[in-house]
A and B are shown apart, each in its own frame.
Chain A
Amino acid sequence: EAGVTQFPSHSVIEKGQTVTLRCDPISGHDNLYWYRRVMGKEIKFLLHFVKESKQDESGMPNNRFLAERTGGTYSTLKVQPAELEDSGVYFCASSQVSNPSSYNSPLHFGNGTRLTVT
């Protein structure tokens, strides 16, 4: 079974530019999450998709961040325009099923995208 894959693994952009991160979850996983670790701080939740719908986007820092999951498969996270404080590692995770009784199914994480904004 292929794991969660993220692309690119590294990205270096200049302040003001746009970057799009991609996440391919494990096939069949309805739940998809984005997390990030900024400047060596703790890993924090950004948002949660159930299939193509945003279930919880309370962790999105501001409107420069846009996440999509068209068709309920892969997801993209766009940062436009990027700022210096956006530098960090962005993790994607997925988990099985979407019925309430299985909400505690383990998260499977990708290896992250390291974003550097200069």
Chain B
Amino acid sequence: LAKTTQPISMDSYEGQEVNITCSHNNIATNDYITWYQQFPSQGPRFIIQGYKTKVTNEVASLFIPADRKSSTLSLPRVSLSDTAVYYCLVTEGDTGRRALTFGSGTRLQVQP
């Protein structure tokens, strides 16, 4: 499984756009990229998933360059409630094996 690397922490202010980049240099052809959000005392919650180019939903956008060796989660106009840990995972598309390790994630702190 491709190992992912993302910043340990980020700080932002309400109303700003936040971009969290994840590196996955060894991503395989059939792998997908998935992002989860986790609040304290809760389980991770799915945010967005993509394979290539750009994916957008009501919560976030995911940008994936052509080489797919990295991806960027974009959160538009964050609020205090977006303070959480964000995990980038790579999932094997062929076998369905789920990322065995979530990694350390990125702890986002949004301030007023």
Contact = CB atoms under 8 A, between A and B. Distances in A.
15 contacts: A44-B100, A44-B101, A45-B98, A45-B99, A45-B100, A48-B98, A91-B43, A93-B43, A100-B96, A103-B96, A104-B49, A107-B36, A107-B98, A111-B42, A111-B43
B61 to A, nearest CB: 17
Interface in B86-112: 87, 91, 93-104
Contacts of A59: 100
B49 A109 contact: no
A33 interface: yes
A2 B101 CA distance: 26
The contact size tier of chain A is 20 to 34
Nearest to A91: B43
Interface residues of B, number: 24
A110 interface: yes
Interface in A93-115: 93, 100, 103-104, 106-112
A29 to B, nearest CB: 13
B103 A42 contact: yes
Contacts of A44: 100-102
